[in-house]
Every structure is written in structure tokens, then in C-alpha cells.
Amino acid sequence: MSSKSTLPIIGRTEKVFFPALQAGPIKAKVDTGADLSSLWATAIKLVDEGLTFVVFGKSSPNYTGKVVVVPKGQYAVTTVVSSFGEKQTRYVVKLQIKIANKLVLGTFTLANRSRSTYPILLGRKLISGKFLVDVSSSSSGKRPATSKISANNSKEVRK
């Protein structure tokens, strides 16, 4: 039995866009070891209207200072455990993101990524079932955008 699917191929880093935030292109790191995606956010506050934050920090070339408002009931709180075992409580928001010319709804934790090389981390919940990752390439722009894959390339062996 062979089922074929066409999925866009992305590299270990990708240029992404956030249409609603009018932000991009921004270089993001693909991290198949991370469960959730992460977005650099500053000035994170709970207000009467809901959750507010600013995307990126003043030191980022992508910083606009524009305040994003997420209404009550449209954000969550989660605990994230880093690769070093450190626990952090973070807000979680859903944002549309365009990766390799494909628009998807992603779930992002808001974090201070000022010391990270990449302001955005794309985790496996965002990429699973939507993209294939070619770790030998740094960007989807350097190869064809799609590839045929087979769910079962092996032949059944009968005794």
C-alpha cells in the first residue's frame, strides 16, 4: 500500500512572514526537538482587553514598536522546560505565519529571545504534517518547493 503526499520542504532555517503583524521576512530556526514554537516578545502585559505584547525587542531590525492585543479567552498559559531543565511560565498565542509560501495557523509561546540567534523558533507541532525538513539545507529557497513522498517505500516480505 502506497500513499503519496506533496509537502513543502523547508530547511533548518526559514524566512517567515506574519501577515497580520505586517512583519517579515524574518529568519526563523526550525527545531524538530522543540514541541512548541516560540516568538520573541517584549512588554508582555495583562490588561482589561486581554494580553498585549510587542513583537521583538528594540535591538531587533524587525522591531516596529506596534502593540499586539490578544483578546481575553484567545491566549493561554503554559510551562515550558528548556533543554537545560529550566522551567518557565509563558503565554501562548495563535498567529498566522507564512512559511515556504504556505499560510498556517501556529501556536507560539512568547519569550525573551534577545540572546538567541533567531527571534523565532518553529517547533514540531507547527511543522508536523505540513512540511518536510531538509536539515542539509538552510532555506527552502535553495531547492524545489515540493517533493513527492511515499508513506511506505518498502516492499512487504512474505514467508
Instruction: Judge whether residue 154 has pLDDT over 90.
Output: no
Using CB atoms within 10 A of its CB, is residue 57 exposed (0-12), middle (13-18) or buried (19+)? middle
pLDDT of residue 99: 94
Q: What does the chain come to in residues? A: 159
CATH number of 4-140: 3.40.50.300, 3.30.420.40, 2.40.70.10, 2.60.120.560?
Answer: 2.40.70.10
Which of the residue ranges 22-31, 38-47, 60-69 has the most confident prediction, judged by mean pLDDT?
38-47
pTM metric for this prediction:
0.80
- The pair phi, psi for residue 42, each rounded to 5°, is -130, 170
Q: Looking at residue 114, what is its pLDDT?
A: 87
Average pLDDT, the chain: 84
Q: For position 5, what pLDDT does the model report?
A: 64
Question: What's the pLDDT tens digit per position in 94-103?
Answer: 999 999 999 9
**Residue extents of the structural domains in the chain:** 4-140
Chain segment 100-125, per-residue pLDDT in tens: 999 999 999 999 998 889 999 999 99
Among 94, 54, 52, 82, which residue's Cα sits nearest to residue 69?
52
